[in-house]
Chain A
Amino acid sequence: MAVLEEPIKEVLDIKNYIDGEWVESAGEVKDVVNPATGKVIGKVPISTKDEIDATVAAAKEAFPDWRRTPPLARARCLFRLKELMEENFEELSRVQTMEHGKTIDESRGETRRGIEMVEVATGIPSLMMGYNLEDIVTGIDEYLIRQPLGVFGIIGPFNFPFMVPLWFAPFAVATGNCIVVKPSSEDPISQVKIAELTEEAGIPPGVWNVVHGGRTVVSGMLNHPDIEGICFVGSTPVGRDVIYKGCGDTGKRVIVMCGAKNFALVMPDADLNRAIAACMTSFYGNTGQRCLANANLIVVGEGLSKEEHDAFYDKVVDAFVTAASRIRMGYGLDDTVHMGPLRDAGKKEKVLRYIEKGIEEGARLRLDGRKVELVGDLPDTCFVGPTVFEDVTLDMAIAREEIFGPVANMMKASSLDEAIEMIHRIPFGNAASIFTASGKWAREFQYRVECGNIGINIGIAAPMAFFPFSGMKDSFFGTLHGQGQEAIRFFTESKVVIQRWF
Chain B
Amino acid sequence: MENLNVTASAIISFTEKLEDSSSAFYEELAGRWVERKETFLAYAKESKKNKTQVVRTYQETITDALEACFSFEGLDLRDYEVETALAKDASYAEALGVAIELEERACAFYLDVAERSESLLATIPRAFKRVAKKRGKRKVELQSLCDKAAAGS
Contact = CB atoms under 8 A, between A and B. Distances in A.
Contact of B69 (A112, A278, A328, A336): A278
Contacts of B71: 277, 280
Chain B interface, >50% SS class: helix
B67 A105 contact: no
Interface stretch (A232-240, A243-251, A295-303, A458-466): A458-466
Contact of A281 (B10, B59, B60, B66): B66
Interface in A87-138: 89, 103-106, 108-110, 112-113
A280 B63 contact: no
B123 to A, nearest CB: 13
Contacts of B59: 89, 108, 112
A106 B5 contact: no
Contacts of A113: 63
B66, B71, B119 pick with most chain A CB within 10 angstroms: B66
B3 interface: yes
Contacts of B68: 278, 458
B69 A459 contact: yes
A104 B9 contact: yes
B67 A460 contact: yes
Contact of A280 (B7, B10, B69): B69
A459 B67 contact: yes
Contact of A326 (B3, B8, B58, B65): B3
A285 B67 CA distance: 9
Interface residues of A, number: 30
B13 interface: yes
A338 interface: yes
A108 B9 contact: yes
B111 interface: no
A2 interface: yes
Interface string B1-45: 001011111100100000000000000000000000000000000
Given A109-B62, A112-B62, A281 B67 contact: yes
Given A112-B59, A112-B60, A113-B63, A105 B7 contact: yes
B66 A335 contact: no
A335 B9 contact: yes
B66 A109 contact: yes
A335 B13 contact: yes
A340 to B, nearest CB: 12
A231 interface: no
A458 B62 contact: no
Contacts of B63: 108-110, 112-113, 462
A278 B71 CA distance: 10
Contact of B10 (A89, A335, A460): A335
A215 interface: no
B139 to A, nearest CB: 28
B7 to A, nearest CB: 6
Contacts of A425: none
21 contacts: A2-B10, A105-B9, A105-B62, A105-B66, A108-B9, A109-B62, A109-B63, A109-B67, A112-B62, A112-B63, A274-B69, A274-B119, A277-B69, A279-B69, A281-B69, A282-B69, A328-B5, A335-B13, A460-B67, A462-B63, A462-B67
Given A278-B69, A336-B6, A462-B63, 16 more contacts: A105-B7, A105-B62, A105-B66, A108-B63, A109-B62, A109-B65, A112-B62, A112-B63, A279-B69, A280-B69, A281-B67, A326-B3, A335-B9, A335-B13, A458-B67, A459-B67
> 6 closest A-B pairs (Cβ-Cβ)?
A335-B9, A278-B69, A109-B63, A277-B69, A460-B67, A335-B10
